[in-house]
Amino acid sequence: MFSSNGVQSLAQVRKGNYYGLIDTKGKLVVPIEYESIGNYGVYNPKWALVKKNDKFGFINLEGEVVVPVKYDDPEDVE
Strand partners, 60: 47
Distance between CA 69 and CA 76 in Å, rounded?
Answer: 11
pLDDT tens digit string along 16-72?
999 999 988 999 999 999 999 998 888 888 899 999 999 999 999 888 999 999 999
With contact defined as beta carbons under 8 Å apart, do 49 and 60 qualify? no
Q: Shortest CA distance to 74 belongs to which of 47, 33, 62?
A: 47
Phi/psi-derived region of residue 54, left when phi > 0, alpha when psi is between -120 and 50, beta in every other case: left
How many C-alpha atoms does 27 have within 13 Å on its Cβ side? 8
**pTM score, whole prediction:** 0.83
